[in-house]
């Protein structure tokens, strides 16, 4: 029986919550809008009052994911406290924590095939998340003369890619893969090696 008493706003979110569970269980292409409607306790026709199709629903989940992601990254960065290096490492740990805590959002963001340019709102949310890591990177190399400073957008993208790789291989129980070390340790040591290569860490820095 369809649930009664939904208001316009919370029916939309109920559909999102139902789809999140389906994405986690079946992947972004493994469910139908009818299944999302059933999970929310409404008729399939009700879905189309809020979303034109499954891709629109997934795109909204991705947008919300990027907003949560950016909030977590900003909280981890904490304005560069207690040091630029500590704050930068904290953003890496926040990446792993997000992937674990919000698997449905993570898949919608990075594994659904939905472009971040699908809507201005999604593009803005993705840009804000990327900007947090770029700001952390800029703070980390602010002491280096401008002419010798690595572009923050470049090395923050490298760290993002490294974080993503650790998540995909070891932090989401990928079949057949088992990390010889905790994912957080792999990421932290990898970041340390990379930053030493850029000259941003002394050789004896314990990262």
Is 23's pLDDT higher than 50?
A: yes
Bond before 189 cis per omega within 30 degrees = no
Expressed as residue numbers, the domain containing 18 is 1-51
CA-CA distance, 128 to 116, in Å (whole number)? 12
Distance of CA 19 to the CA centre of its chain: 17
- pLDDT for 203 equals 54
Instruction: Judge if 44 and 65 occupy the same domain.
Output: no
Instruction: Judge if 40 and 111 occupy the same domain.
Output: no
Give the count of domains, the chain.
2
**Residue 121 belongs to some domain of the structure:** yes
Instruction: Judge if 67 and 37 occupy the same domain.
Output: no
Rounded to an integer, the average pLDDT of 114-132 is: 95
- For the entire predicted model, the pTM comes to 0.86
Largest CA distance in the chain: 66
Residue 44 confidence class, pLDDT cut points 50, 70, 90: confident
Instruction: Judge if 135 and 160 occupy the same domain.
Output: yes
CA-CA distance, 129 to 68, in Å (whole number)? 9
Residues 6+ apart with CB under 8 A from 113: 28
């Amino acid at each position: 029986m369809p649930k009664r008493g939904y208001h316009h706003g919370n029916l939309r979110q109920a559909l999102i919550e139902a789809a999140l569970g389906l994405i986690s269980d079946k992947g972004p292409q493994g469910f139908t809008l009818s299944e999302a409607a059933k999970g929310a306790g409404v008729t399939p026709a009700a879905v189309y009052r809020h979303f034109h199709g499954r891709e629109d629903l997934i795109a909204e989940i991705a947008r919300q994911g990027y907003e949560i992601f950016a909030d977590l990254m900003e909280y981890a960065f904490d304005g560069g406290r207690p040091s630029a290096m500590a704050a930068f490492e904290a953003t890496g740990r926040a990446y792993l924590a997000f992937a674990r805590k919000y698997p449905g959002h993570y898949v919608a963001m990075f594994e659904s095939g939905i472009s971040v340019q699908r809507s201005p709102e999604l593009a803005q949310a993705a840009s804000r998340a990327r900007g947090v890591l770029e700001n952390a990177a800029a703070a980390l190399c602010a002491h280096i003369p401008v002419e010798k400073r690595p572009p923050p957008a470049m090395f923050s993208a490298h760290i993002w890619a490294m974080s993503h790789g650790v998540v995909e291989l070891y932090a989401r129980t990928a079949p057949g893969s088992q990390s010889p070390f905790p994912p957080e340790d792999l990421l932290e040591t990898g970041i340390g090696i990379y930053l030493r290569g850029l000259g941003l860490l002394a050789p004896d820095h314990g990262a």
